[in-house]
Structure 1
Amino acid sequence: MMPAARESLLDAACAALARRPWSAVRMVDVAAAAGVSRQTLYNEFGSKEGLARALVRREADGYLAGAERALATHGDPRERLTAAAEWTASAARDNALAKAVLTGCWSERLPMPTLSAVRSSSAVPAQRRADGPLPSPGDLVAIVRDRAVALLSVPGTPEAETAALTRTCELVIRLALSCVAAPPGEGGIAELVRGVLHRQPV
């Protein structure tokens, strides 16, 4: 199956999830919305649980790709971290599934696959990956933190300075996640992050 068709099925599942709880989303309807047979849907994902895992994997991947882009947008390290924080808050603002992936707070309306790997019999590489371990919110924080440190640190930096930078990067991402749970007031997340970074080594 072409990757584009897989994306169409995931898009159709997301659209269905926006209208009704996951328990009421039917595989036959997802297939019809994507213009493929139900058998094609099962061939691609294996089961409804497989589809749920693929949805969560896609949200996590999309978040990480956006964080990577945000960290690469500016020359100034503080603005890079601010952009990553803004992306973190915006990724979850209008997307209940992304919010759940980032915070670990799942509602009964959403699919909620286990984060541990499941036995996979899929011949589809993307599905085998989805059937592997899914990232927890803590995993996502660590991945973005480590990526930020790699981008912002200079070769030969003393270990103590790298450790301080690591703490700062983690602080910014965790601050961003707190803004997902409790949106900030006037000035938004950027002002909060800049205020924190003003007092932190970057």
Structure 2
Amino acid sequence: MPTAREVLLDAALSALATLPWTSVRMVDVASAAGVSRQTLHNEFGGKDGLARALVRDAADGYLAGVERALGTAGGTADRLAATAAWTVRAVRTNVLVKALLTGCWNERLPRPGPLAAGCPDPLPGPRSADPGPPTPAELLRRAGERAVAALDGERPPHDPEALAVTCEIALRLALSYALVPAPSGTGGEPAPLVRHVVARAPDAVSGTSPTAGARSPRGSPGRSTPA
């Protein structure tokens, strides 16, 4: 059964689908959630606290989805393809995830800044040093770190540097699909392209390139390139 906090966050996010954040009223959020306005204030302290919680929840929810996708069956290509598919779905269905990953904020969205020095966070829990929402680069880095940690345990072992770059490529491909949909008839999803890129990238398992040993146009030995 969802908690009052979870129901309130869902109600606030639903309100954003039709209203700009400046027009979202606390009393309406409480009513939609089926709780008292006092309960809302007890949970978030005020509208800025609710905004801060919404943004945190969006970032945490996206990263939790990344971890779920990385836990699917299959090898590196399959698990990164699932992660890319989740990233596209999250960006397309949650306006806050889209803003967090792209930096495309507008006046319709809540965008709490960092707390002023010495100003306690009204939200419960150890959040007194909240720096504000992560930048797109920070959120993408956190997703990449989770991917590397999840895939590093595969056998045979991956080359760490190659794996890190391969994970970043998959995530950035996903963002390109989320922002610029693929042509009709191609399926519109990043998974096939991610699998193709991972398969043809320099080998993250052995650390060698698929073209290792090939000759360059000048006749010199081919060189492995980090993935």
In the superposition, the TM-score normalised over structure 1's length comes to 0.87
In the other structure, the counterpart of 1:122 is 122
- The one of the two structures with greater contact order (alpha-carbon pairs below 8 A, sep at least 6) is 1
Q: Deviations over 1:105-143 (max 9, x none)?
A: 1122111122x35533436117x3794542222112111
State the alpha-carbon separation in 1 of the partners of residues 129 and 10 from structure 2: 16
SS in 1 for 2:182: coil
How far 1:198 moved relative to its partner?
2.0
In the other structure, the counterpart of 2:175 is 177
1:172/1:130 CA distance change after superposition, 3 Å = farther
2:49–2:122 contact (8 Å) kept in structure 1 = no
1:49/1:75 CA distance change after superposition, 3 Å = same
SS in 1 for 2:190: helix
In the other structure, the counterpart of 2:217 is none
The one-letter code of the counterpart of 2:29 is: V
1:129/1:69 CA distance change after superposition, 3 Å = farther
**1:136 maps to 2:101:** no
SS in 1 for 2:164: helix
1:105/1:172 CA distance change after superposition, 3 Å = same
The one-letter code of the counterpart of 1:81 is: L
State the alpha-carbon separation in 2 of the partners of residues 123 and 163 from structure 1: 39
1:31/1:125 CA distance change after superposition, 3 Å = same
The one-letter code of the counterpart of 1:125 is: G
Q: Deviations over 1:46-67 (max 9, x none)?
A: 1211101100111111111111
Please identify which structure carries the higher helix content.
Answer: 1
**1:162 maps to 2:163:** no
1:57/1:24 CA distance change after superposition, 3 Å = same
SS in 1 for 2:200: coil
In the other structure, the counterpart of 2:41 is 42
In the other structure, the counterpart of 2:211 is none
1:8–1:34 contact (8 Å) kept in structure 2 = yes
% identical aligned pairs: 55
State the alpha-carbon separation in 1 of the partners of residues 77 and 121 from structure 2: 45
1:195/1:75 CA distance change after superposition, 3 Å = closer
Gaps of 5+ in 2: 205-227
The one-letter code of the counterpart of 1:139 is: E
In the other structure, the counterpart of 1:197 is 198
Gaps of 5+ in 1: none
1:190/1:123 CA distance change after superposition, 3 Å = closer
**1:90 maps to 2:77:** no
State the alpha-carbon separation in 2 of the partners of residues 121 and 189 from structure 1: 39
2:177–2:190 contact (8 Å) kept in structure 1 = yes
The one-letter code of the counterpart of 1:120 is: P
| Structure ID, larger Rg | 2
Moved more, 16-25 or 179-188: 179-188
Q: Deviations over 1:55-103 (max 9, x none)?
A: 0111111111111010010231110011101100011112222211221
